[in-house]
Amino acid sequence: MMTPSLSDLLDSAHVVSLPLVTRFRGIDHREALLLPGPAGWTEFSPFVEYDDAEAVTWLRAAIDFGWNQTPTLLRTSLAVNATVPAVDAALVPDILARFPGCRTAKVKVASADQTLADDVARVRMVRSVLGPEGRIRVDANGLWNMDEAEHALHALAEFDLEYVEQPCMSVDELIELRGRSAYMDVPIAADESVRKADDPLLVARAGAADILVLKAQPLGGIHAALAIIAQTGLPVVVSSALDTSIGLSMGAHLAAAIPELPYDCGLGTASLLAADVTHSPLLPVDGAIEVRRVSPDADLLELHAASAERRDWWLARLERCYALL
């Protein structure tokens, strides 16, 4: 893999702060560091709370996408899901309207400031809007314990879930929950157990999940993610980490290189941004996004440039992570 010099990265970096349509993951703005590479623009945007040991993987992904050739693409467009944050049920129709044509919705649940009743009401509203043919997946981000997860699956069973994503955090808990909930026939998908693990293959070897949720940046890039897929044998869902359209392009190139893609991708999240870095963002049209490279527009880079303090913070982070490559 080609690796640019640190000075080249620092000199060409653009740091942006993009407002969100609604609060998501506890933030109102999404910060990202964008880089022009010989293969195209790329993104380095680990969440601010991640330490350098975790963030360096995201830097590997940014360099991979910006400085190396992408694999052969097997498709030119990707069906994507709508993403519903942990909002009041009354707000669900407006959020789903931002994802035109999407027939799958991923619904965030298990938020610390809400109850299971709130989750049930939100999922019920999603089912009402999508109708009986729509597909619903829920994502707990590992925030339930074993008993809470089992209870929640009972409460949500009436909505015919496509799968539940990361109901509990540990691999052992996922294994036990699969056993406890097998009679409910709700597949379990693993996200954090793959991208935050020292061994991303452990969850598959342990039989802890039915589906893997893969994100290009946290796994070290497209080529690293494809290597994981080749070794697990499990079906995958390619998702995003609330990226700009440049980061979403990285995820789209990953998804487009996977031979079998049975599930809609979680790559429609540009719809959750109130602004982007391009006048041609990767927004869902008829339930799908294009697979294409994205370059930022100069006026939007300037308009959404982060403050000098935040730019310095990101450049220092970039320098620290580069030292760990």
* Confidence tier at 23 by pLDDT (50, 70, 90): confident
* Confidence tier at 264 by pLDDT (50, 70, 90): very high
Mean pLDDT score, 161-166: 97
> Which residues are part of the catalytic machinery?
108, 215
Q: Where are the alpha helices (DSSP H) in the chain?
A: 6-12, 52-67, 92-96, 116-130, 146-156, 171-180, 192-195, 202-205, 222-232, 245-256, 298-303, 308-324
HSE-CB at 155 with a 13 A cutoff on CA atoms is 19
Distances (CA, A) of 47 to 8, 106, 194, 319: 23, 20, 17, 16
Q: How far apart are CA 122 and CA 52, in angstroms?
A: 35
**Is the separation of the CB atoms in 180 and 150 below 8 Å?**
yes
8 is in an annotated binding site: no
pLDDT score for 320: 98
* Confidence tier at 195 by pLDDT (50, 70, 90): confident
What DSSP string describes 36-48? EETTEEEEE---T
**Is the separation of the CB atoms in 79 and 230 below 8 Å?**
no
* Confidence tier at 176 by pLDDT (50, 70, 90): very high
* Confidence tier at 200 by pLDDT (50, 70, 90): confident
**Is the separation of the CB atoms in 112 and 142 below 8 Å?**
no
Distances (CA, A) of 273 to 5, 28, 47, 173, 265: 31, 10, 15, 34, 17
Over 90: is that where the pLDDT of 183 sits?
no
Mean pLDDT score, 293-311: 98
| pTM confidence score | 0.96
**Is the separation of the CB atoms in 253 and 64 below 8 Å?**
no
Mean pLDDT score, 262-286: 98
28 is in an annotated binding site: no
Q: Considering only the top CATH level, what class is 6-69+299-324?
A: alpha beta
| 28-65: pLDDT as tens digits | 999 999 999 999 999 999 999 999 999 999 999 999 99
Over 90: is that where the pLDDT of 120 sits?
yes
- How is the chain split into domains, by residue range? 6-69+299-324, 77-296
185 is in an annotated binding site: no
Q: How far apart are CA 323 and CA 325, in angstroms?
A: 6
Within its chain, how far is the Cα of 53 from the centroid?
19
**Is the separation of the CB atoms in 221 and 249 below 8 Å?**
no
Q: Report the topology of domain 77-296.
A: TIM Barrel (3.20.20)
Over 80: is that where the pLDDT of 1 sits?
no
Mean pLDDT score, 141-154: 96
